[in-house]
């Protein structure tokens, strides 16, 4: 194990191989013999290649595991169009529907572990905010300043949720859920996305966050809203498709698409 300063506890310790997208997510995706679709460095591939780096100590890795990763990973969408988290969130009917977006309140659904869900998403954003995750890149993958330190403390249970950060959580209907991985990136000015199968986290940062986004924050709103379908997933999909068009499609991606289409009785057209 390399020895260095852990980015979460800030102490000099032996560092373990940390994963930007938790390793268990890859294992979950691959359990049916498929690799997730991954967009990495403008390459579109079906791969179990994982972004990893000696970033955190063992104890801080456990903070992330226990804080939300272990619970959330087992609730993601699958190739078979099952989606445990979707089933939990939609146990009650939506309280509202705006622009084809259903809004569910999960405050009275103890089976939906809100803190674990938020911790999971914010943990990935934090790791992207303290390291570049690409060879030769020294700058962090995303810039969350001046809130990175307050986020670090909150993840460790040592501070309040960062002010001027609003996390909107969106789930896709099982038949629309892409079994793919999109590591944290900035989609537009101070709006960041990270996607794991069926689950989209949109982090809005700064004092100038659009007013409609603030009451949709899963952590700040005591009603605990979770969104499904509609404009947010469409917006993300459109942005992802734009990146798809500009990305080089690898042979692994093409083979994976052919395999999925064959299992569905369809023909894959590149």
Tokens of 56: 């955190």
CA-based angle 61:168:39, to the nearest 5?
65
Per-residue pLDDT of 16-73, as tens digits, reads 999 999 888 877 776 656 655 555 555 444 555 667 899 999 999 999 999 999 999 9
Per-residue pLDDT of 91-143, as tens digits, reads 999 999 887 889 999 999 999 999 999 999 999 999 999 999 887 777 999 99
pTM score, whole prediction: 0.84
**Banded pLDDT at 239 (limits 50, 70, 90):** low
Work out the number of other CB atoms within 10 angstroms of the CB of residue 167: 23
Q: What is the largest CA-CA distance in the chain?
A: 54
Cα of 61 vs its chain's centroid, Å: 17
Per-residue pLDDT of 182-227, as tens digits, reads 889 888 889 999 999 899 999 999 998 888 889 999 999 999 999 9
User: In which element (H, E) is residue 110 found?
Assistant: none
């Amino acid at each position: 194990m390399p020895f260095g300063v852990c980015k979460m506890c800030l102490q000099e310790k032996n560092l373990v191989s940390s994963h930007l997208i938790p390793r268990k997510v890859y294992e979950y995706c691959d359990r049916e013999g498929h690799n997730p679709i991954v967009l990495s460095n403008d390459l579109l591939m079906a791969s179990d290649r994982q972004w990893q780096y000696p970033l955190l100590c063992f104890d801080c890795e456990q903070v992330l595991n226990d804080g939300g990763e272990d619970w959330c990973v087992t609730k993601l969408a699958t190739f078979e169009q099952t989606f445990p988290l979707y089933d939990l969130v939609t146990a009650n009917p939506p309280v509202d529907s705006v622009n084809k977006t259903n809004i569910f309140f999960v405050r009275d659904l103890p089976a939906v572990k809100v803190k674990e869900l938020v911790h999971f998403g914010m943990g990935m954003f934090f790791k992207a905010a303290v390291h570049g995750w690409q060879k030769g890149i020294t700058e962090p993958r995303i810039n969350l300043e001046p809130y990175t330190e307050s986020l670090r403390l909150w993840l460790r249970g040592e501070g309040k949720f960062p002010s001027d950060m609003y996390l909107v959580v969106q789930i896709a209907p099982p038949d629309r859920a892409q079994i793919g991985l999109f590591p944290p990136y900035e989609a537009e000015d101070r709006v960041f996305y990270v996607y794991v199968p069926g689950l989209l986290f949109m982090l809005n940062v700064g004092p100038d966050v659009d007013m409609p986004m603030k009451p949709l924050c899963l952590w700040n709103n005591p009603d605990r809203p979770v969104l499904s379908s509609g404009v947010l997933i469409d917006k993300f999909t459109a942005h992802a498709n734009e990146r798809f068009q500009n990305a080089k499609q690898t042979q692994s991606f093409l083979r994976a698409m052919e395999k999925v289409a064959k299992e569905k009785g369809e023909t894959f057209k590149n």
